[in-house]
């Protein structure tokens, strides 16, 4: 399970205080004890990454934050293999994470989200 401070941080970056259901956009959301959310409109539960290009992964948020910093802060392209090595995960995982980040950079919404996260992480010196 992710550290709650990481979930709260991602939540603030993504929704800025008003969690919205990624399926139906409803704001009638209940926070569950396991760091997930429940939508009271469509009755689906979701996590902070659900509906973002980083969703569907079991990787802890803190590793995603590191990956975003490595890939997006670098002045030269970082390959999946290298990313895996730097994160201490296997190269398959590194490649998949890199793909998800690149995919996210191609969509305006997630690109802005990544940039917000990066700026905030730099500010916190995390
Ligand atoms: Zn919903």
Same domain, 7 and 39: yes
Would 91 be classed as within a structural domain?
yes
With a pLDDT cut of 70, the percent of the chain lying above it is 98
Total domain count for the chain? 2
What are the tens digits of pLDDT across the range 11-31? 999 999 899 999 999 999 999
Same domain, 39 and 84: no
Is 13 within 8 Å of 117 (Cβ atoms)?
yes
Q: What is the pTM of this model?
A: 0.91
Q: What is the pLDDT of residue 62?
A: 94
The rounded Å distance from CA 59 to ligand 1 centre is 24
SS3 of 49-93: the string is CCCCCCCCCCCCHHHHHHHHHHHHHCCCCCCHHHHHHHHCCCHHH
Same domain, 68 and 43: no
The rounded Å distance from CA 38 to ligand 1 centre is 8
Domain limits at 13?
3-47
Same domain, 74 and 109: yes
**Residue 60: alpha-carbon gap to chain centroid:** 9
The rounded Å distance from CA 54 to ligand 1 centre is 19
Same domain, 72 and 111: yes
> Which residues are placed with Cβ below 5 angstroms of ligand 1, an ion?
21, 23-24, 26, 39, 41-42
Same domain, 15 and 67: no
pLDDT at residue 1 greater than cutoff 80: no
Of residues 19 and 4, more confidence is placed in 19
Q: What is the pLDDT of residue 125?
A: 60
Same domain, 31 and 65: no
């Amino acid at each position: 399970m992710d550290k709650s401070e990481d979930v709260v941080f991602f939540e603030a970056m993504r929704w800025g205080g008003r969690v919205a259901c990624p399926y139906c956009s409803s704001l009638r959301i209940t926070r569950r004890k396991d760091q997930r959310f429940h939508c009271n409109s469509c009755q689906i539960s979701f996590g902070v990454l659900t509906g973002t290009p980083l969703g569907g992964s079991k990787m802890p948020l803190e590793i995603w934050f590191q990956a975003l910093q490595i890939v997006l802060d670098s002045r030269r392209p970082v390959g999946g293999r290298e990313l895996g090595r730097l994160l201490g995960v296997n190269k398959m995982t590194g490649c998949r994470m890199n793909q998800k980040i690149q995919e996210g950079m191609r969509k305006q919404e997630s690109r802005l989200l990544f940039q917000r996260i990066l700026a905030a992480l730099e500010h916190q010196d995390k």
